[in-house]
Structure 1
């Protein structure tokens, strides 16, 4: 432990190391140029210099390797587009929830849930659903829930199908969060305390300490709350903990044990709505959430990881996790309407009608993954083989709340079901009612389950990274999944029992040609598979990825299949300080399940659709100079429906798809003590509609029905180091106070609002 103190002190004014940088001491030990003596818990001076990173005290914008132990090649030699966001980048951006972080990235958009499904984060990667393709340390994190980054070391966004690693799903890609872990290599603590506008306050504690020669513990704690910027009473609250332990016998065995907990309590805001007369989102919508609206999530997860070096060529790795999440929401929506002729106050007057959206979800899951790594040579070929077995058992119980109101309706509106008494936000003259938060007097009680999802999966996979010679490298992967699926659904009063068993296979083949040591070109082919009913939150709602067909039809359905062809180049330049990549891809999805009938039908047609997304992605991250760090990613994509049971939509663009997007984060170290920077997000316009299908189109008028306008958002930050142990940071979010919308429901009934301008001041103390 004293050796750690000496290392830290020798770095002097250059050592405000983050935990990620300290972790790099052992993480970089695989690099031949760096040595790390774990027995003495110290690293070589060369490793220290790498950790120091050109004098920028707390920032690493570039990493060499994935945090997923199964990805054995360096990122520059991996034949696939993978965006890695470091802890430093995330913290300096001022973003904390995973949804905020991903929404800014190129090639990723957000979606809304069916019927205003407010719980959980919904991501769309390369135009395809990824809400069930979220992983933590390589293990699927099932269900819909809120996810925070306080215990995250880095976030990895894999672009393109990757079912060899992920199993079912991952049509457009997957998201993998790498958690912080205990280490015997250092004794280090950090406190981040923030205050800001909109009642913002946040406290994060991160402390790692060896408690014996071979044992270490790490504690991460979180407490934060705020109002949504410029949306008073739209509250967000998080409390969390990650408790991690490590046993490391130095020679061959490492055992990690983690406990993760997060409690999230929000007031949900369904934002604005699409005005079909002006064909624009309604601006300056007031806060209309009712007093009893809530969005709550609670997460428990226990993880045990074991690494055992059998010999110099064989390594065993197991990760086992048990988790539970409980989620629930009651949310109020607002949409333009007209008072009916039977309305006693103002017949025929325009109004804003309030609606309710609600649901609960309980998730229980168990997963264990066994991996055997084998390094061997056959002739002139050097192999790194991976043999894996995985078992998972997921249970997702979805239900509803019983709602009642202690206020009398204040309007009668017309709708497709006829006239109905309800609640309006404005009176007959178009003026807002006073005490908007208590117009409805909503009360609720937990109701029955209407969908019990169960999926037991056994998977086997083999992967091989082959060094053919100094110029050629081959990656090969093949995976089989056997799934035992059931879903007990109550649909429109009918109890339906869906169940089937299926086997599906996926592969990945990539070839890399090294132009020289730090530059290559590659070509890759990969596949993915989606099962019928693979989205666990929807029961028999075909339109959002739920089950299609009746129980007999669903069992006969073929899985949806996706294939991806990608050609790219990757460069590690400026003495490996800057990483540059460029890729062209074509992603084709076949056998798509499609909903039929009206837009809200739960029926479907099996394996009738086909669509395609193709485009170019460009990325730069790392250090351009000794003072300038950057992360830049851009995507220029197009989408098209190629086949459908409805021939009229062939040629249409996919819904919830931004063809052009750009994210840039820059950091400049002006002086030894002062750094500043910011990030810029651009998202092209999107069109609303059902996931994985054509955007809603008005054939009569010749335009897409629901439009999410393009937007640009600028955020700024500045860091000042008061001393070796204390740093101050100022974040200003949405500097221009732009009003923008991130996603639209398929009918336009609500459109999620992006955050307005905010300011946060953070004090970081390290010890």
Structure 2
């Protein structure tokens, strides 16, 4: 029996699937009894039509979809005062975030069921390429599908994918203005204005500006603004067209947290492996470090109802994004040195210039028809895309800065100059002067042609068969720039390595649903996914160049398979929706080191577990949204040295729990909050200093948020959020070899909402 069978799921877990069933996958209440309570401090809790994926690939309602699909509605985004993708996804257990370092960019890096999923983020069903730090001001909802989803979305990591659904024009006139202020210099303003133009056309404008400091972190701050405009014609008719444009500019002082114990030779290791320094210690340089993130996305969506059985939908997208940063990595400047009675360290740097351009077109034909007494709900489609991804690291040379103390050795710059700081009292305001040059960038061109088909076949009222298949032709070619030579910041040469490859892969899913009652379903499903080697890095597409034989060889796609059984149930006239699922996922053909400098595709990893959650209203006044995930993970076969084999996977905690809940004490006053738990989580599966018995861990933690809202008038309300009420110091993520990132400290935010 294989190693991963050693941990069996408990009988209680199995009973949970068969009975209790809690998962945020269905609709909020829409029955008449709840109408009077459908507003929480002026924020409309929309009916269940708002809580379903927008893609026609979902050919049945979520109650009858044999997959774990979580929809985070706008009301949760607003009530939790979320401003980033990380804020939103904390409400969906089983998702963690990884830290940036080296090939992993400083950008959104979600892990779903233990699999890196930064390459699996979509906007309105189209892949959102390029490393980014995403905003939420223009989002209607966020949809998370867990498990292998290549049948839905083509190439992927196998853990799942995230789709961001943007706001679209409507035929009702509405204007919402929010102004927020908080501790740590927080300020934010948003405008959401929708205006009908005639009987079937409308325009919608969303604006955002925000700035502030990172709670609990010295010097770290952000400043961003965004705008989105969408125009729709033919709304409510057989032919509908929506054109939209989105822009975001974000300027941040980036943060790579605190170093690990490995950077102080001879100092005893802490239990977690994170250096015992103040949680607000910041090792970066305000005079040098920066991160600029930009996004410009233009989208055209056309829909036409051909007849009662066929609807045509086409989405065209042109987007340009930029992830541009220079950040101090406290664990990458070499070992600290004990000089003149103090520990000193040299500041290391990581940098990236990564513009990405995407042109994509997705065409669907979908609808319903009945033949021979069997009902079909189907979708067939074609995806075409071309992505251009450039990637360069800056060449940085310090001419004047914080001097290293006399006696500090291995200083790579002129004597007395070297970007040094005290380990236990870093000074981010140190001066810096120098040269920052960008060499030629590696460039990667990828093309995707994907054709897919889905069908939900209904055999009467009790049984449904869900089928999906997709075939992809995926190719890349580009040039990798490496071995840059420089002196005094002047670039004198580089090594250019042409690379190209193409792959064909077919993935499928099959699910069987049994409906004992109209408001419940029991299901079993099986699905596959393919991960080409050129998307295994932190960017959406990299040239894939690596060490050893990978400098000249592109391996085949990794393969992921997953089996899932679950139950979904709606209670109280569908006010409360619940679900639970058991899953077993296996990654095979994984790239691992089999000998010195030699990589081969013989690795294997496993994740199995239980997901439970709940969405909706227990009573007309009591709203809940959250869940629990248990993940038992194992690196079944790893590197040839055997150090990491049998370890739990990085960024895959056994237990995660989240619950956000509000209660309407009166028609005007609502109270609530959130509780979040994450168990121990390892930072990597390395050998050597970062692996084996020395693995770095983010310790388990509980964090609590508070919420109160008061309606002053029919169109005016106040909302107070206190995040991390107990000011808990916790490690949000670790790199595993270089640094660990602390989560935000306590922060209070007061928001005034006005609606017209």
TM tier, smaller:
0.7 to 0.9
Counterpart of 1:533 in 2: which secondary structure? Answer: helix
Aligned-pair CA distance for 1:325:
0.8
Aligned-pair CA distance for 1:608:
1.5
Aligned-pair CA distance for 1:251:
3.3
**2:356 paired with 1:363:** yes
- 1:532–1:757 Cα change, 3 Å: same
Aligned-pair CA distance for 1:408:
5.8
Corresponding residue of 1:225: 211
Q: Is the 8 A contact 1:687 1:704 kept in 2?
A: no
Aligned-pair CA distance for 1:231:
2.5
Match of 1:53 among 15, 22, 38: 38
Structure 2 unaligned blocks of 5 or more: 1-25, 263-268, 484-493
Match of 2:175 among 178, 189, 199: 189
Aligned-pair CA distance for 1:553:
5.6
**2:311 paired with 1:315:** yes
Partner Cα separation in structure 2 for residue 227 and residue 234 of structure 1: 6
Q: Where do 1:14-93 residues align within 5 Å?
A: 53=38, 57-60=42-45, 63-93=50-80
Counterpart of 1:666 in 2: which secondary structure? Answer: strand
Aligned-pair CA distance for 1:275:
2.3
Q: Where do 1:331-730 residues align within 5 Å?
A: 331-335=327-331, 346=340, 349-405=342-398, 406-407=400-401, 409-411=403-405, 422-426=418-422, 432=425, 436-439=427-430, 441-492=432-483, 493-535=494-536, 537=538, 550=549, 554-555=553-554, 557-595=555-593, 605-646=599-640, 648=642, 649-689=644-684, 694=685, 696=687, 703-730=693-720
Counterpart of 2:392 in 1: which secondary structure? Answer: strand
**2:139 paired with 1:152:** yes
Corresponding residue of 2:223: 237
- 1:224–1:596 Cα change, 3 Å: farther
Q: Is the 8 A contact 1:54 1:627 kept in 2?
A: no
Partner Cα separation in structure 2 for residue 361 and residue 443 of structure 1: 22
Partner Cα separation in structure 1 for residue 547 and residue 32 of structure 2: 55
Corresponding residue of 1:752: 741
Instruction: Please give the per-residue CA displacement for 1:632-672, whole angstroms capped at 9, x wherever unaligned.
Output: 21101111122235262332211121111001101101100
- 1:696–1:263 Cα change, 3 Å: same
- 1:517–1:190 Cα change, 3 Å: same
Deviates more, 1:471-480 or 1:266-275: 266-275
Partner Cα separation in structure 1 for residue 223 and residue 235 of structure 2: 40
- 1:502–1:743 Cα change, 3 Å: same
Corresponding residue of 1:216: 202
Counterpart of 2:102 in 1: which secondary structure? Answer: helix
Counterpart of 1:448 in 2: which secondary structure? Answer: coil
Instruction: Please give the per-residue CA displacement for 1:292-349, whole angstroms capped at 9, x wherever unaligned.
Output: 2111011100000011000011100011100001221111132497665xx9x53x85
Counterpart of 1:629 in 2: which secondary structure? Answer: strand
Structure 1 unaligned blocks of 5 or more: 1-26, 35-45
Aligned-pair CA distance for 1:415:
7.6
Q: Is the 8 A contact 2:104 2:538 kept in 1?
A: no
Corresponding residue of 1:135: 122
Q: Is the 8 A contact 2:336 2:345 kept in 1?
A: no
Q: Where do 1:249-260 residues align within 5 Å?
A: 250-260=236-246
Partner Cα separation in structure 2 for residue 431 and residue 526 of structure 1: 50
Partner Cα separation in structure 1 for residue 72 and residue 62 of structure 2: 13
Q: Is the 8 A contact 2:93 2:628 kept in 1?
A: yes
Instruction: Please give the per-residue CA displacement for 1:492-550, whole angstroms capped at 9, x wherever unaligned.
Output: 353211101111110010110001000110001011100012146569999xx765765
Partner Cα separation in structure 1 for residue 571 and residue 540 of structure 2: 50
Instruction: Please give the per-residue CA displacement for 1:260-301, whole angstroms capped at 9, x wherever unaligned.
Output: 000011001111122252233234142332122111011100
Partner Cα separation in structure 1 for residue 36 and residue 206 of structure 2: 22
Partner Cα separation in structure 2 for residue 250 and residue 656 of structure 1: 45
Partner Cα separation in structure 2 for residue 437 and residue 297 of structure 1: 22
Deviates more, 1:379-388 or 1:588-597: 588-597
- 1:286–1:704 Cα change, 3 Å: closer
Partner Cα separation in structure 1 for residue 553 and residue 412 of structure 2: 30
Partner Cα separation in structure 2 for residue 209 and residue 362 of structure 1: 34
Aligned-pair CA distance for 1:384:
1.3
- 1:764–1:54 Cα change, 3 Å: closer
- 1:716–1:696 Cα change, 3 Å: farther
Instruction: Please give the per-residue CA displacement for 1:655-693, whole angstroms capped at 9, x wherever unaligned.
Output: 12111100110110110000011111111111122xxxx
Partner Cα separation in structure 2 for residue 373 and residue 539 of structure 1: 29
Corresponding residue of 2:260: 274
Partner Cα separation in structure 2 for residue 754 and residue 229 of structure 1: 9
Corresponding residue of 2:20: none
Counterpart of 1:88 in 2: which secondary structure? Answer: helix
Q: Is the 8 A contact 2:593 2:639 kept in 1?
A: no
Partner Cα separation in structure 1 for residue 250 and residue 511 of structure 2: 41
Corresponding residue of 2:755: 766
Q: Is the 8 A contact 1:64 1:74 kept in 2?
A: no
Partner Cα separation in structure 1 for residue 714 and residue 545 of structure 2: 54
Corresponding residue of 2:233: 247
Partner Cα separation in structure 2 for residue 249 and residue 354 of structure 1: 56
Q: Is the 8 A contact 2:690 2:736 kept in 1?
A: no
Corresponding residue of 2:729: 739
